[in-house]
Structure 1
Amino acid sequence: MMADPGTLRTALCDLLGCEYPVILAGMGGVARAELAAAVANAGGFPTLGMVREAPSLIISEIEAYRRLSDRPFAVNIIPAATDPDLLHLQIETCLAMKVAVFSFFWDVVPEAVTRVKTAGAFLLHQVGTLRAARDAEAAGADVLIAQGQDAGGHVHGRTPTFDLLRAVLDTTALPVVASGSIGTGKALATALSLGAQGVQCGTAFLATAESFAHDYHKQRIVGARGEDTVLTDGFVLNWPKGAAVRVLRNSVTEAFGPALMGHDPQRISHEVIAHDGPIPRLRQSTDSPLRTTTGALEQMPLYCGTGASAINAVIPAAQRLNDICAEAQAQLASARQTPMVGQT
């Protein structure tokens, strides 16, 4: 069944210039030009994941994206977890490349928000708490992405996705997007019914043909269920202390036992377990396995949300987007046709 853009269109689509209210999460290392363009050309809104990447890679990925698609896109960077000098260069590079939309995450850095807004850019800011939502709005964000604890990858808060969505909707007049364990049409329909303007998907697009994740990572997601994930700050090298991630269980998390939280990056040995070309990858770092990675892939963080049970195959991103949207339309149509209690 093919999705009809008109029946799912929200104000967010008009703001971002897309057909469906579905955003590709800016997954570092994974959401590169090929995946972003596939999502964009299928009608979703893409984000290039450029977390702590060098300006040269940002330039090459933007150029590659523009060869594949002429549709709008965002670039995701993390001001609070990036060296200030590199952050300055990243923003300068994006602005020089005429990036019109930015996506920020983690603690709100008002100076970074002001900088991109002053340049005339549109800003999506992902938050995990009500406090962060208020801070992002006060700083000048245009859209809030409410990320629940169900999400894969870095998780900023500890509130379930739809509970956080309701709370953020109650406290802001900005458009709000739901993120975290949203990889089905049912979840999209639920988010829209609650008042969200759209959703952001990560894990669902990580397990697609075009994502830059390693095939090992994709297949582990296909074989996983929600209960196979854990939230831990054990993969913390390269990020601030206490930064939690949701990953699939592996030999590293099993070795933690019940001590999934409380890991101090200053006390973690720098043991090389893999490489991306000449670049070493450390055990307990935040680096997930990419197409270019060789080494002990099983020991690396395999980011995955609790919605993994719905992902049963690695398929093209366009197909996954269409499947999600078509199912959402069916769910919403069914809800409209179901009479309320007391109706005849």
Structure 2
Amino acid sequence: MTEAAATPTLPTPLTERLGCRYPIISAGMGGPARAELAAAVSEAGGFGLLGMVREAPALIESEIAEVRHRTARPFGVNLIPFATDPALLQDELAICFNARVPAMCFFWEVFPGVVEQAKRAGCLVLYQVGSLEDALLAESAGADIVIVQGVEAGGHVKGSLPLSVLLPRVRDRLRIPVAASGGIVDGRGLAAALALGADGVHCGTVFLASTESFAHDYHKQRIVEAGLDDTVHTDLFAINWPPNSPVRVLKNSVTAEAGQLWGHHPDRLPREVIGEDGGRPLYKFSTDSPLRSTTGDLERMALFAGQGAGLIGGIRPAAEVLRMMMREATSVLGELGARIAETKARPD
């Protein structure tokens, strides 16, 4: 029996809708989530997302082709209409639709017109949101799955509530499958999310630190070395994104020297070049995180990570991450069920 066949499954409305074995979606992190990672997650039984935010249409086309070269399993492409020039967004969507991508995942503000376009093209639509209001809007716009992001999440953070507070509120109101996102890096987090009403989880940090991630090894190692209190929520890394777009990153010299973590506007931050990627200068205070192709002062770049970073003990293949999460989740749920049964069997 193969390891995949021996790994327990947890069928949910999410796995049924996405056509995957495990209720685990790898986040479409712009940069780190290239074809190698998305394909590895889908091939191993999860649902992989390509992070193609503001990428050139030619790169999106080649990355989609590379995913299909690596796996026949379904996958999706993540775009962010809110942070993308409208003309570029339409070119990106056209590439995805022409390639008949199975699913599209969108984030930040809800754009009903974009959801309608994707549905007309035959795509499943996942929408990541940070509030109950946006969750309801995404559902009414036609989204098939809503991803609920808590403030514990790494990268760009839309909402302000902990996942444990926001998720039950959303679950009570929505009829479509709901995935939980924010600080989930292991099977205990998956089990907890299911207990709170989620149909699955959406994980970024644990896959950013995987072998197949396109993130720079420095970024991965910083996540592995992180303690439980080593992330900060801030709008300090703002260049390249619209104003008022907070992020969660690992602490570094930039956050230590900032004086204040809030109140920064992208147009008022200095343009100090600290690195380069593909011939493009990278600025201090930019939202660019270090990739395999990045050179420069990596320590001063945006080292995105969720609060679960302190629970990650090593850099592992994505398939191993999935298997470990599933085994731990089913074990935790099984132990909980046994304890409940034992309690009920006790004489009054």
Does TM, scored on the shorter chain, surpass 0.5?
Answer: yes
Letter in 2 for 1:115: Q
Aligned residue runs from structure 1 range 38-49, under 5 A: 38-49=40-51
Give the Cα separation in 2 of the matches to 1:226 and 1:176.
Answer: 27
Letter in 1 for 2:264: H
- The residue aligned with 1:312 is 313
- The residue aligned with 2:183 is 181
Give the Cα separation in 2 of the matches to 1:68 and 1:10.
Answer: 26
Letter in 2 for 1:216: Y
- The residue aligned with 2:31 is 29
- Compute the displacement of 1:2 (Å): 5.5
- Is residue 130 of structure 1 aligned with residue 169 of structure 2? no
Residue of 84, 92, 102 corresponding to 2:94: 92
Give the Cα separation in 1 of the matches to 2:271 and 2:245.
Answer: 18
- Compute the displacement of 1:277 (Å): 2.8
- Is residue 143 of structure 1 aligned with residue 125 of structure 2? no
Deviation string, structure 1 residues 150-195 (Cα, Å, up to 9, x no partner):
0110000011112111111012111100000001101101111222
- Compute the displacement of 1:23 (Å): 0.2
Secondary structure at the aligned position of 1:13 is classed as helix
Aligned residue runs from structure 1 range 1-344, under 5 A: 7-257=9-259, 259-339=260-340, 341=343, 343-344=345-346
- Compute the displacement of 1:269 (Å): 1.5
Residues 21 and 342 (structure 1), Cα distance of their counterparts in 2 relative to 1, 3 Å cut: closer
Secondary structure at the aligned position of 1:177 is classed as strand
Deviation string, structure 1 residues 290-310 (Cα, Å, up to 9, x no partner):
000000100100000101121
Deviation string, structure 1 residues 113-140 (Cα, Å, up to 9, x no partner):
1111122211000000111111111211
Cα pair 1:225 1:306 within 8 Å, conserved: no
Give the Cα separation in 1 of the matches to 2:302 and 2:8.
Answer: 39
Cα pair 1:129 1:164 within 8 Å, conserved: yes
- Compute the displacement of 1:7 (Å): 4.0
Residues 342 and 40 (structure 1), Cα distance of their counterparts in 2 relative to 1, 3 Å cut: closer
Letter in 2 for 1:268: L
Give the Cα separation in 2 of the matches to 1:189 and 1:301.
Answer: 30
The more displaced of 114-123 and 75-84 is 114-123
- Compute the displacement of 1:339 (Å): 2.8
Give the Cα separation in 2 of the matches to 1:122 and 1:172.
Answer: 17
Give the number of equivalent residue pairs: 343
Deviation string, structure 1 residues 81-124 (Cα, Å, up to 9, x no partner):
10000001010110011112000000011111111112221100
Residues 171 and 307 (structure 1), Cα distance of their counterparts in 2 relative to 1, 3 Å cut: same
Cα pair 1:225 1:307 within 8 Å, conserved: no
- Coordinate RMSD, CA, aligned: 1.4
- Compute the displacement of 1:342 (Å): 5.4
Cα pair 1:2 1:326 within 8 Å, conserved: no
Deviation string, structure 1 residues 7-28 (Cα, Å, up to 9, x no partner):
4111211111110000000000
Cα pair 1:180 1:305 within 8 Å, conserved: yes
Residues 317 and 227 (structure 1), Cα distance of their counterparts in 2 relative to 1, 3 Å cut: same
Letter in 2 for 1:274: G
Percent of aligned pairs with the same residue?
A: 53
Give the Cα separation in 2 of the matches to 1:114 and 1:273.
Answer: 40
Cα pair 1:270 1:283 within 8 Å, conserved: yes
Cα pair 1:5 1:20 within 8 Å, conserved: no
- Compute the displacement of 1:244 (Å): 0.4
Secondary structure at the aligned position of 1:138 is classed as helix
Secondary structure at the aligned position of 2:139 is classed as helix
Secondary structure at the aligned position of 2:229 is classed as helix
Deviation string, structure 1 residues 212-254 (Cα, Å, up to 9, x no partner):
0000000000000231000011111111101000000011111
Cα pair 1:29 1:213 within 8 Å, conserved: yes
